[in-house]
């Protein structure tokens, strides 16, 4: 690759990481590797490593960041509930989606022919990029960048996207002639973010309590807990 082209791409990678992860690149090598798919010419011709090892590392770092976030944000969530939420957040579908939204494919060093980039390549690259940020800037900076990225793309809404727990609870209550009521217990701040703690009663009995950054999301979270008690699963 000619020097001018290489320099331009390196500058684009630095801007990309700064924009989407909020960190300045200190060592460029891990990021070049993160964007290098095993099909790339440089990987095959020059023997440079592909992003597979960083993908492995980034997968574990992502798991830790998401587990920590869920543990703090859902103090009343049980193990099974949080495991399912974590699985959705770090699923291949979610990572492919994030990769597409921030334009990972435009920096990928991969041979894809004339067809479009396969969604899996984006998701794999996302994991590798997280691994690269971790190697370059450490866990705390990586955690802050990942959480900022997840919040930017409305992760909490995506957590509730599969099932509307509030509607599900109301429908169940109507069939059994049991009144469903939501009540704000308190407003508070966590890590500088305003949050609402919500309680839901079914037939006068408290069935779920949880919190969220808005009344609507707190209602969904509380309804989810209630549905767990009533139906046993999601």
Mean pLDDT of the chain: 85
CATH code for position 142: 1.10.1520.10
Mean pLDDT score, 150-170: 72
Cβ neighbors of 76 (< 8 A, separation 6 or more) are 208, 209, 210, 225
Whether the per-residue pLDDT at 186 is higher than 50: the answer is yes
Tokens of 37: 């798919």
pLDDT tens for residues 21-31? Answer: 999 999 999 99
Q: Alpha helices of the chain — where are they, by DSSP H?
A: 3-21, 29-34, 41-46, 52-73, 79-89, 92-101, 119-137, 139-152, 155-159, 165-175, 215-231
- Provide the residue range defining the domain that includes 180: 165-231
Q: Are residues 41 and 122 in the same domain?
A: yes
Q: Are residues 152 and 47 in the same domain?
A: yes
CATH code for position 217: 3.30.160.20
The pLDDT assigned to 161 comes to 53
The pLDDT assigned to 5 comes to 47
Closest CA to 63 of 141, 131, 151, 133: 131
Tokens of 144: 């802050």
Q: Are residues 134 and 224 in the same domain?
A: no
- State which of 111, 131, 159 marks the end of a domain: 159
pLDDT tens for residues 58-79? Answer: 999 999 999 999 898 877 777 8
Number of domains in the chain: 2
Q: Are residues 60 and 117 in the same domain?
A: yes
- State which of 106, 125, 159 marks the end of a domain: 159
Catalytic, out of 10, 59, 100, 234 = 59
Confidence of residue 163 (pLDDT cuts 50, 70, 90): low
Q: Are residues 117 and 197 in the same domain?
A: no
pLDDT tens for residues 75-114? Answer: 777 787 788 888 888 888 888 888 888 889 889 888 766 5
Whether the per-residue pLDDT at 227 is higher than 80: the answer is yes
What percent of the chain is modeled with pLDDT above 70? 88
Q: Are residues 85 and 179 in the same domain?
A: no
Q: Are residues 11 and 127 in the same domain?
A: yes
The pLDDT assigned to 191 comes to 67
Q: Are residues 50 and 119 in the same domain?
A: yes
Catalytic, out of 33, 105, 109, 127 = 127
pTM > 0.85: no
219 is catalytic: no
The pLDDT assigned to 228 comes to 84
Mean pLDDT score, 186-203: 87
Alpha-carbon span 19 to 196, nearest angstrom: 30
Asked whether 19 and 32 are in contact (CB, 8 A), the reply is no
Q: Are residues 199 and 118 in the same domain?
A: no
Q: Are residues 35 and 115 in the same domain?
A: yes
Alpha-carbon span 113 to 128, nearest angstrom: 22
Q: What is the DSSP-derived secondary structure letter of residue 91? A: S
- State which of 104, 128, 159 marks the end of a domain: 159
Q: Are residues 50 and 154 in the same domain?
A: yes
Q: Are residues 189 and 73 in the same domain?
A: no
59 is catalytic: yes
Kindly state the helix (H) or strand (E) to which residue 199 belongs, with its residue range.
Answer: strand 193-202
């Amino acid at each position: 690759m000619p020097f001018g082209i290489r320099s331009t791409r390196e500058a684009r990678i630095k801007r990309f990481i700064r924009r989407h992860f909020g960190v300045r690149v200190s060592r460029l090598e891990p990021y070049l590797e993160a964007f290098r798919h095993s099909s790339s010419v440089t990987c095959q011709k020059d023997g440079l490593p592909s992003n597979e090892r960083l993908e492995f590392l980034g997968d574990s770092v992502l798991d830790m960041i998401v587990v920590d976030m869920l543990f703090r944000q859902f103090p009343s969530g049980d193990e099974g509930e949080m495991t399912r939420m974590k699985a959705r957040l770090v699923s291949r579908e979610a990572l492919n989606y994030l990769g597409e939204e921030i334009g990972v494919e435009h920096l990928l060093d991969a041979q894809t022919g004339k067809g479009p980039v396969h969604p899996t390549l984006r998701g794999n690259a996302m994991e590798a990029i997280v691994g690269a940020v971790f190697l370059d800037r450490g866990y705390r900076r990586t955690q802050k960048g990942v959480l900022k990225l997840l919040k930017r793309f409305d992760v909490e809404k995506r957590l509730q996207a599969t099932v509307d727990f509030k509607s599900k609870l109301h429908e169940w209550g109507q069939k059994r002639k049991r009144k469903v009521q939501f009540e704000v217990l308190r407003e508070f701040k966590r890590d500088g973010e305003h949050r609402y703690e919500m309680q839901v009663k079914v037939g006068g009995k408290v069935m779920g309590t949880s919190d969220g950054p808005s009344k609507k999301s707190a209602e969904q979270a509380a309804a989810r807990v209630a549905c767990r008690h009533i139906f046993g699963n999601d």
